[in-house]
Structure 1
Amino acid sequence: MSVHNRGLFVLGQCLPFAIAVIVVVIELSPAHFLYTGPFLTAIPALAAVTMGPRGTLAAIAAAVAVSVTTATVNGAWGTLQVYTNFLALFLVSLAGITASSAVRTRRQNELDQVRRIAEAAQGVILRPVPARLGEVRAAGMYLAAEEGAQIGGDLYEILQTRFGVRMIVGDVRGKGLPAVRAAAAVLGAFREAAQYEDDLVEVMNHCTAALLRESAVPGAFDRVARLEGFVTALVAQVPDEPVVEVVNCGHPPPLVVRDGTVQALVPADPLPPLWLEEFAAGCSATVESHPFTRGDRLLLYTDGVIEARDRDDAFFPLSETATGASSVAPQVFVEHLRQALLRHTRGRSTDDAAMLLVERVGEERDEA
């Protein structure tokens, strides 16, 4: 909600009570001969439009209190005018409560429908992470910053391919539907290219090409547009060999959890995010290989995790939190991080957050 709309909303909520104050001033001043009954009956009607049932009841109580007070002060009890005012106030209040409840029910039904649609869209864009793929176990987590949303601009995927287990995690700069569309384009390209491209760099190139096609910017794409819609992305592969191969395009470095310690796989040659390649002349994507043996865990995440702040403006301690849960099953590990993140931000994160964890276990290890 914009600042302007929020201001109008607050003004609408204050208006019924402002009218009650105005009526009191008129009735207790020399101008009390003015007929204020219509003003009082307007209070519940306005409250029903701008408030919920509780606010409407509070406004009705204020109108009744003002009506009783002014009738007492002016000695008007027993007159037809007072009883007419009370009858009109009762009828309008009854209609206001009924209308407010109906509006609230309709809005809740609409919200439930939007959530069901969001859940269905999430199942298409961000598919559930399989618990086991070949020689690795996996788990994933997604938290959308937008209230009531299920999906946003962060993305992840993990696939079993003939080259090994391949995965991607990314973060679209921006919010709303454009970010969701960009995420869907990158994921669609990855899901296709990961199955037939033997080179991880080419897989990443397909994701860049898909992002360019999805963009609504015509022609050659000006630089301002590129700065407004880039995507940080990381593609990784766990082959049969005891290594993990990574191509990192401007994304936070993944963490390897090994024997209770955490190591960040910082790229030797940092690359720009997708769609910003022309701003880094002379840089070319390369595949970097790191040891990844049985029992090791690889944690991919978006910047919404490491940049989450608490009320003291401190960042979320991802490495320390990951170290404290290194011995539990992958799904429990990810849930531990999710709960810790929610506690850190008090459930008020300002950015989407996603995590993907894989553990090399080998063929003989128990899957429990």
Structure 2
Amino acid sequence: MRRGREDPGWLRGEPPPRWALLAPAVALVVLVLAQRLTPGDVEIGFFLAGLPPVAAFAYGAAGTAFFAALVLLLLGVPGLGIAHARGTDLATVAAVGVLSVVIAWVRRRRDAQLVSVRTVAEAAQMAVLPPVPQRVGGVGCSGLYRAAQRGTLVGGDLYDVRAGPFGVRALVGDVQGHGLAAVATVAALLGAFREAVLDDTGLAAVAARLDRRLLVDATAASVDHPELFATAVLVEFPPGLDLVRIVSCGHPPALLLRGVAVEEVTVEPGPPLGLGLAGPAPPAVTELPVRPGDRLLLHTDGVTEARDKAGHFYQLAARVPVLARDPDGLVAAVWRDLAAFTAGGPPDDVALLLLTLPDPGVYRE
């Protein structure tokens, strides 16, 4: 599984790169040599006063204080011939150095807090949206998740694959809204799905359980959120049968990959979850014959509703035959292609789940 994690990078909690650590020392040596090679009536040594602020971006308080003291030494000792500093000049340089030390101390504390917050966020993702194994009950799995809200790892999309007494079941969904506000709904749906995999006989019953979960949560929600809903597609690989069952609750259609052919799976659409599926008309279950090696690509509308600068929608079904030949895998190839199409990534959460259908004999005893 590929996570939604992006490298936080320098100044976002990660250690500074090597060039940032070397820059102050290299600049110091270059300025000292340049002053030595410059005629005596031209002073460029005072540029050394800018080194402590530069060091503050990469070093802690102690390292920044070392550079500040070294600069004061070079400028304050006349015999070194670096600069002819007066008392007021040295006082200004010293003040800049002290301020740089304070900045370095504050930055280190902030970096430590960012690392702590990110660690908690990663733990939350592991609890809410753990990695999908490469195989579940004989079904090959590959997933990718990208949250739209920058700096977050979990948003409003979800997916899971579980094995139970009724076969292997998979869920891909998209809850109302996105970002951190939707995480509680995502957690509730995933919890209900994992229970349904073990307890509910039919796929329609699984959808009904998820629907009831949202109805109960909507009743308990504040007046600011009078209703909760989510689109979802449920897939079931029943044991001993050469078919896959699919229930769609207002969700974009899955893609069936059979060799080089790609087609949208036609199912009878049902209403989104949270609008009362448990009523007299249960959601329709579509049965699709399968063959060994067939693949199902499930996705959220963050993929198919992404647009380029000209306003054109991303044509997933048309791109998959080309991307399927990528050696890094189809899921990774789709994300790279989508990011290039939208010039940096779509504005909505994105979830992709590729299920490689097993030999139907896997389930037969």
**TM-score, structure 1 as length reference:** 0.68
> 2:264, 2:281 → 1: CA distance?
22
Deviation at 1:361, TM superposition (A): 3.0
Within-5 A mapping of 1:58-97: 84=88, 86=89, 89-97=92-100
What SS class does the counterpart of residue 126 from structure 2 fall into? helix
Within-5 A mapping of 1:83-162: 84=88, 86=89, 89-162=92-165
Question: In structure 2, do the counterparts of structure 1 residues 178 and 364 end up closer, same or farther at CA, with 3 Å as the change threshold?
Answer: same
8 Å CA contact retained: 2:231, 2:251: yes
TM-align CA RMSD: 3.1
> 2:219, 2:129 → 1: CA distance?
23
> 1:201, 1:154 → 2: CA distance?
21
Question: In structure 2, do the counterparts of structure 1 residues 215 and 90 end up closer, same or farther at CA, with 3 Å as the change threshold?
Answer: farther
Aligned residue number for residue 335 of structure 1: 332
Within-5 A mapping of 1:157-196: 157-196=160-199
What SS class does the counterpart of residue 130 from structure 2 fall into? coil
What SS class does the counterpart of residue 352 from structure 2 fall into? strand
What SS class does the counterpart of residue 151 from structure 1 fall into? coil
8 Å CA contact retained: 1:271, 1:283: no
Write out per-residue CA displacement over residues 285-343 of structure 1, whole angstroms, 9 at most, x where no aligned residue: 121112222121111111111122233333222112221243678x7221221222222
Question: In structure 2, do the counterparts of structure 1 residues 302 and 287 end up closer, same or farther at CA, with 3 Å as the change threshold?
Answer: same
What SS class does the counterpart of residue 225 from structure 1 fall into? coil
User: Which one-letter code corresponds to 2:272 in the other structure?
Assistant: P
1:202 is aligned to 2:205: yes
Of 347, 356, 359, the match for 1:359: 356
What SS class does the counterpart of residue 262 from structure 1 fall into? strand
> 1:363, 1:200 → 2: CA distance?
19
Aligned residue number for residue 321 of structure 1: 319
User: Which one-letter code corresponds to 1:337 in the other structure?
Assistant: V
Deviation at 1:246, TM superposition (A): 1.0
Question: In structure 2, do the counterparts of structure 1 residues 214 and 311 end up closer, same or farther at CA, with 3 Å as the change threshold?
Answer: same
Within-5 A mapping of 1:31-50: none
Gaps of 5+ in 1: 1-43, 55-81
> 2:207, 2:92 → 1: CA distance?
67
8 Å CA contact retained: 1:306, 1:317: yes
Question: In structure 2, do the counterparts of structure 1 residues 271 and 110 end up closer, same or farther at CA, with 3 Å as the change threshold?
Answer: same
Deviation at 1:101, TM superposition (A): 2.5
- Give % identity: 37
User: Which one-letter code corresponds to 1:177 in the other structure?
Assistant: L
User: Which one-letter code corresponds to 2:200 in the other structure?
Assistant: E
Aligned residue number for residue 74 of structure 2: none
1:241 is aligned to 2:241: yes
User: Which one-letter code corresponds to 2:288 in the other structure?
Assistant: H
1:263 is aligned to 2:263: yes
What SS class does the counterpart of residue 104 from structure 1 fall into? helix
Deviation at 1:125, TM superposition (A): 1.2
Within-5 A mapping of 1:263-302: 263-268=263-268, 270-277=269-276, 284-302=282-300
Deviation at 1:282, TM superposition (A): 8.0
Question: In structure 2, do the counterparts of structure 1 residues 109 and 214 end up closer, same or farther at CA, with 3 Å as the change threshold?
Answer: farther
Aligned residue number for residue 225 of structure 1: 226
Deviation at 1:132, TM superposition (A): 1.6
User: Which one-letter code corresponds to 1:190 in the other structure?
Assistant: F
User: Which one-letter code corresponds to 1:109 in the other structure?
Assistant: A
> 1:101, 1:213 → 2: CA distance?
50
> 2:105, 2:311 → 1: CA distance?
42
8 Å CA contact retained: 2:243, 2:289: yes
Aligned residue number for residue 7 of structure 1: none
Gaps of 5+ in 2: 1-49, 59-85
Question: In structure 2, do the counterparts of structure 1 residues 91 and 222 end up closer, same or farther at CA, with 3 Å as the change threshold?
Answer: closer
8 Å CA contact retained: 1:256, 1:299: yes
> 2:197, 2:211 → 1: CA distance?
14
> 1:107, 1:313 → 2: CA distance?
40
> 1:224, 1:281 → 2: CA distance?
23
What SS class does the counterpart of residue 190 from structure 2 fall into? helix
User: Which one-letter code corresponds to 2:210 in the other structure?
Assistant: C
User: Which one-letter code corresponds to 2:162 in the other structure?
Assistant: L
8 Å CA contact retained: 2:133, 2:141: yes
8 Å CA contact retained: 2:173, 2:232: yes
Task: Point out the structure with the larger helix share.
Answer: 1
> 1:328, 1:214 → 2: CA distance?
42
Question: In structure 2, do the counterparts of structure 1 residues 347 and 111 end up closer, same or farther at CA, with 3 Å as the change threshold?
Answer: farther
**TM-score, structure 2 as length reference:** 0.69
What SS class does the counterpart of residue 226 from structure 2 fall into? helix
User: Which one-letter code corresponds to 1:232 in the other structure?
Assistant: T
Question: In structure 2, do the counterparts of structure 1 residues 281 and 199 end up closer, same or farther at CA, with 3 Å as the change threshold?
Answer: closer
Question: In structure 2, do the counterparts of structure 1 residues 364 and 339 end up closer, same or farther at CA, with 3 Å as the change threshold?
Answer: farther
Question: In structure 2, do the counterparts of structure 1 residues 217 and 286 end up closer, same or farther at CA, with 3 Å as the change threshold?
Answer: same
Of 342, 346, 361, the match for 2:343: 346
User: Which one-letter code corresponds to 2:126 in the other structure?
Assistant: G
The size of the alignment, in residue pairs, is 282
